[in-house]
Amino acid sequence: GEDVEQSLFLSVREGDSSVINCTYTDSSSTYLYWYKQEPGAGLQLLTYIFSNMDMKQDQRLTVLLNKKDKHLSLRIADTQTGDSAIYFCAERSGGSYIPTFGRGTSLIVHP
Amino acid sequence: DVKVTQSSRYLVKRTGEKVFLECVQDMDHENMFWYRQDPGLGLRLIYFSYDVKMKEKGDIPEGYSVSREKKERFSLILESASTNQTSMYLCASTTTGGNEQFFGPGTRLTVL
């Protein structure tokens, strides 16, 4: 079945850039997502990208997609302590409305 | 402001009790989902529903059942709670063809 892999932890210094990586196996993935989960809360969609795009930028967030390698990354510029959260990568094929989630990457931002 | 609400943020139950977790969405979404979230395991889909009275098993349905009598409400039922069902439970909804799942704040269930 489909699989989405991401590393479990990332620690960065405040003001640095953070890069969270994700790989997926489903070649029919059409939509790729990044969700953010703050402590004690549900998930919230940060951004998504269609599989026919290479890059999407939204303020401090940059999503890069390498479809050949099935690799997705989320770059957060000028990381702040408020960015500390769990970040989930997810993919969905066009024929399904059910996404497959990765296990989540805990981003820790220290001063 | 769109919303998915869950009946409790924290719940403590005893082994063997019947437990009801309620989820309500105000967006007229067709599809609703129940996940459990455990450290290091991410989100695992328990059940989902694509219409009133319709339900489909997800990846880990054992020990759970669901009910969807009204479009806005999706209930998760633990018929006889066990300690291995201690977890965070997240409800979500989406419209068919929609790009975003909207999540509730979660219910942290502890089974003693």
User: With an 8 Å Cβ cutoff, are B94 and A8 in contact?
Assistant: no
Q: Could you read off the pLDDT of B53-71 as tens digits, one per residue?
A: 999 999 999 999 999 999 9
Residue pair B76/B99 in contact by the 8 Å Cβ criterion: no
Average pLDDT (A18-33) is 90
Pairing mode of beta strands A29-37, A43-50? antiparallel
* pLDDT tens per residue, range A87-99: 999 998 877 888 9
Query: CB of B68 within 8 A of CB of B17?
Result: no
Determine whether the interchain pair A45/B106 forms a contact, defined as Cβ–Cβ distance below 8 Å: no
Shortest CB distance from A103 goes to which of B31, B42, B96?
A: B42
Cβ separation of B33 and A41 shorter than 8 Å? no
Measured in angstroms, the CA of B109 and the nearest CA of chain A are apart by 13
Which amino acid does the sequence have at B86? T
Give the model's pLDDT for residue B102.
93
B40 contacts in chain A (CB < 8 Å): 8, 103
**Per-residue pLDDT tens digits for B21-40:** 999 999 999 999 999 999 88
